[in-house]
Structure 1
């Protein structure tokens, strides 16, 4: 029996099993605009819309929950969720999660400064003695996460981190470039906050599923359908709508590990409480 046909049968059986039990695939994630946007019970965003379209094509019903990131990770650990959207690959989660080969999107972690208190940033050494605003449970890069040169101070939300920045409670803060730009517009901080040019790390984020029966085959099918959808004009339209960027062709992703250091070129969440 051809491998493709076997995968189709296995995925169909997994769908029938969920439907027979009257269950939906339970996916958790944190609001993370423009990737996941939750606004007055209306949900949208680049990765949310893409995931919803792919699961619809696979015939899978999804139950979504939008929670703080550490709570999402805890639910995965405790078996209260089947999957999580926009998570990074990390070796410490290999025994718990399965990842598609195709990522949802790319993240660029960058630094933001208060214009009233500017700081240079070309390397981690420039952060010596500073207090950097971070998000609880997020992974940035191995070097950043383990550095003793500076203090990492968590805040309950990305918006709270920007508030601490403009009030001088942190010297700089780190977040994804697109997320930061969206929050700056939301909070009307264009005249108070600016992005620094250095990139702390580039990461790929994924939809990941718990290692349960049949999930490995579902992950393969999800990856194949996601890759197919990314080649369609509809995906380019989503990218333009949510990021303002033009996608001419799907990005080519390799199996090489993410950069851990500082990249000075700006291009195009996460955490491990596990």
Structure 2
């Protein structure tokens, strides 16, 4: 979805983008040294702001809890609390940080860790865990790769555990970084105004998706 949005934004201003997939650290390093023009998606932090130009918000990154449609969690549908989670076995992925509440849950009850998000989805389908934490769009991308009869079993609790803004980064040492960023911003504004972004978002909605809201 994000690739489609970035491609459409640049296409709107007459720029065709070649996309390459790299590990996160390599993508950041190559954008920092100018061998790659842009990298995405990234959240803000002070260290990156010294090295990169940030776009405006492209999308929200939200961690949500996935579960089987055959299960219901009414106590979590309005607000996710430590007490509400305490009765359930929650799966996560080794090395991932899911925010302060899940850190506290992990310390008190233990997140059941697996080596990958894919393995966690398998555990969820098999009933070995009650809930699985993943970034919303990543989770649904992985679900879309499952057989139809399996993907149809899954949905998410409609409240975000964490929410942060996601941005496109341009390395300050790159070629014409200000122009690279300004073209993106111009294109992004255009596709939001002409409905292209909305169409992309609608095309990526999968059966079972519960769009997450941020608990107040």
Q: Which has the higher contact order (CA 8 A, sep 6+)?
A: 2
| 1:65 aligns to 2:24 (yes or no) | no
The Cα shift of 1:182 comes to 5.0
TM-score after normalising by structure 2: 0.68
Q: CA 1:50–1:161 in structure 2 vs 1: closer, same or farther (change >3 Å)?
A: same
Segment of structure 1 superposing worse, 47-56 or 79-88: 79-88
| Aligned match of 1:104 | 58
Aligned partners of 1:184 and 1:190 also within 8 Å: yes
Unaligned runs of 5+ in 2: none
Q: Determine whether 1:75 maps to 2:27.
A: yes
Gap regions ≥5 residues in structure 1: 1-34, 36-46, 245-264, 269-274
SS of residue paired to 1:62: coil
Structure 1 partner of 2:189: 227
Q: What residue in structure 2 maps to residue 123 of structure 1?
A: 81
Distance in 1 (alpha carbons) for counterparts of 2:155 and 2:59 = 24
Structure 2 CA distance for aligned equivalents of residues 170 and 74 of structure 1: 33
Deviation at 1:76, TM superposition (A): 1.3
Q: Deviations over 1:20-67 (max 9, x none)?
A: xxxxxxxxxxxxxxx2xxxxxxxxxxx222211322344545332224
Pairing of 1:130-145 with structure 2 (within 5 A): 130-134=89-93, 140-141=98-99, 143-144=100-101
Equivalent position to 2:177, from 205, 215, 219: 215
> 3-state DSSP class of the match of 1:65?
coil
Structural RMSD (CA) = 3.5
